[in-house]
Structure 1
């Protein structure tokens, strides 16, 4: 895929630490929206609750989503993510399609093939991805013009609500609810829409199932070949206490070995268990990988008593990510769950004059 030397973001990564934005879901909650706000007029008759479908806000509350993008950009983000973490037909079906398990059935490849073939689900997924990318594009360009500093739109591609690696049936370990080709098809649809909306790069993130991520990466490759164009690809995994991807249980090194053939712009870790527990695994990845390294951890561990739902405040995250930079581990830094624009502003200030992880001559060559 596209190498670092082919994109202007690469030269930034060689010279300073780039900042990626924070948690869309956490920030949405600060606006106090309810189920009626989510539904709007368009989805007022939906049969299932929609409030947890944050991607849908790009259609029903675009002013709020654009305001969040603006705030992250003004906080110092160089890269903002589209509001599309669950914007595939497969993930959206959780909110719009009747669950066969409620009537004694089960979700299986036959069920998901109907989802893949459903024009209404495909159309909805396309619209969410394209509109969200357009919203990001508009604000990235506005702030870039106002500040004289280029900003980048990352098309966010999340991990799905189904797993290709594990069976949900303890009595049938070979059973999978969905096939590789179905997952690939859903991801390809998302990728096309993210590109159509104006994304600068694609971010396969919060990977806890490496096989799902493989399907996303194959889909990206196929879309690139089909359109005869390429964008840089960022890859980011979520790991557990032992440094393993949460479902497929690959170690950090094994994960890198599984994706390095893609030649991504960057590889890194996000979400997970906060910066403290992430540190040793990020250190390992930084030693093994020969591309830029990203880190955008959760704001510590979940804490329902805190304002954001997580332990660490802006100053805490700035200190932790500053230690990542002091150790020479990162080229891209930001925050995942629990990180608001205030967190990103603190991180950006803390890292402003810190050197990025050194990249090889091959990676930064013009």
Structure 2
């Protein structure tokens, strides 16, 4: 197994468009065949697949500083970057690859790219001056300029493609070592803007961004992840169903325009009452809103711990005709805990084991607060457990 992560060539580190690194990686990595890309469906019928844990939580255990985040390339960035975890794929690739390696060795079948906020819209929070600081406001005109910003477009593409290639390399390395195929999920997270709600209580009809603008941001992300050789696309931590709808439309358009097809996974974040966090849909309403996509899987992640997730996961499993995923937070936030959350690895293993005993899941893992040690415990607890049964012919991309 390699001890160092493969880095993009020097031209990329000087800030040239990341699209120019694609040819190099085409020569290094072999494109999975269509049957390989879709063999994850078969795995989900045979056993409970393990998805990895929290990238952000695990990054914090490495003690990175603002200077580590910036590196030489971003040393003059105008804002603090330390919370921009996706950027570590470019400035600290060895750390990110080590995290992927640790999750894979811990037992993860599916490893997510470090691209949760890798759209131009999300990255603008770290690189563009906020007009509200000078009496202005963010609005569709502002975000149109963001979408036309070459630096942000190139940065978003680079983060997505490089992050995917890092995952691809280590998924293949570990699979080569132990003979078990691993899968790379292109992580597509929520945005810092909402299509469902107005930020202005005095103007409830106002939206800072349009549906088409969100769709365009997600199309670039989707194309870059596919260029990075992901096996599936994961639209996750959905708290605004309309934002998610824009992501799903973007994915479908890319598939149709580029003549490519990958499985799509979908996962929502729900509150204590079981509603999506901003659009306030019930679990059933959420499923009805996304079922037309015919996803490989649908599930719940983040926002709540496994104890609170159980009844909502049960409801989703009763409604959905596809694979079910669950990767909850490690309980409630706890500033005194090394991970920032309450539950230890053995606690998560027990709760996820209960999900399996009740026939609720096909994919299991952890979100915030879940380290490689948590994933190892979950993988051990679920080994040999039967997956939830569902109709294979109804699942997956159309």
Q: For residues 271-306 of structure 1, what are the alpha-carbon distances to aligned partners after superposition, in whole Å with 9 as ceiling and x for unaligned?
A: 021000000000000000000000000000101011
2:295 and 2:395 in contact (8 A); partners too:
no
Of the candidates 158, 163, 182, which is equivalent to residue 213 of structure 2?
A: 182
Cα deviation, residue 360, structure 1: 2.1
Deviations 1:71-128 (A, max 9, x none): 0000000000000000000000000000000000000000000000111110000000
Q: Which of residues 330, 335, 353 is equivalent to 1:304?
A: 335
TM-score (norm 2): 0.90
Q: Which runs of 5+ in 2 are unaligned?
A: 1-33
2:292 maps to 1:254: no
Q: Unaligned stretches of 5+ in structure 1?
A: none
1:359 corresponds in structure 2 to 390
Q: What does residue range 131-146 of structure 1 map to in structure 2 within 5 Å? A: 131-146=162-177
Secondary structure at the aligned position of 1:156 is classed as: strand
1-structure distance, mates of 2:190, 2:89: 19
| 2:236 alignment partner, SS class | strand
Match of 1:114 in 2: 145
- Counterpart CA distance in 2 for 1:138 and 1:364 is 28
Instruction: After TM superposition, give the deviation of residue 359 of structure 1 in Å.
Output: 1.7
Mark the CA change 1:5 to 1:356 in structure 2 (over 3 Å): closer, same or farther. Answer: farther
- 1:279-294 maps to which residues of 2 (within 5 A)? 279-294=310-325
Determine helix, strand or coil for the equivalent of 2:184. Answer: strand
Question: 1:6, CA displacement in angstroms?
Answer: 7.9
- Which of 31, 50, 53 is 2:62 aligned to? 31
Distance (whole Å) between structure 2 residues aligned to residue 134 and residue 226 of structure 1 = 23
Q: SS at the partner of 1:295?
A: strand
How far the C-alpha of 1:362 sits from its partner, in A, is 2.6
Q: Secondary structure at the match of 1:269?
A: strand
- Please report how far the alpha carbon of residue 229 of structure 1 lies from its aligned counterpart in structure 2 after TM superposition: 1.0
SS in 2 for 1:204: strand
In structure 2, distance between residues paired with 1:240 and 1:262: 24
- Name the counterpart of 1:158: 189
In the alignment, does 2:237 pair up with 1:206? yes
The equivalent residue for 1:348 is: 379
Which residue of 1 is the match for residue 272 of structure 2?
Answer: 241
Q: Give the whole-Å Cα distance in 2 for the aligned partners of 1:227 and 1:186.
A: 16
What is the TM-score when the length of structure 1 is the normalising length?
A: 0.98
Query: Aligned partners of 2:394, 2:196: CA distance in 1, in Å?
Result: 33
> SS of 1:14's equivalent?
helix
Mark the CA change 1:297 to 1:97 in structure 2 (over 3 Å): closer, same or farther: same
CA RMSD of aligned residues (A): 1.4
Q: CA deviation at 1:147?
A: 0.7
Change in CA separation of 1:126 and 1:5 when aligned onto 2, cut-off 3 Å:
closer
Residues matched between the structures, number:
363
Confirm or deny: 8 A CA contact 1:11 1:364 kept in the other structure. Answer: no
Query: 1:183-221, CA deviations, whole angstroms, 9 ceiling, x for partnerless residues?
Result: 000000000000001100000000000000000000000
* 1:47 aligns to 2:78 (yes or no): yes
Q: Does residue 72 in structure 1 map to residue 103 in structure 2?
A: yes
Cα pair distance change 1:361/1:22, threshold 3 Å:
closer
Distance 2:306 2:53 in 1: 14
CA distance in 2, matches of 1:24, 1:323: 25
Is this contact kept in 2: 1:237–1:268, CA < 8 A? yes
Moved over 3 A (4+): 3-6
2:42 equivalent to 1:11: yes
1:59 and 1:335 mapped to 2: Cα distance? 25
Shift of 1:35: 0.1
Q: 1:102 aligned to 2:113?
A: no
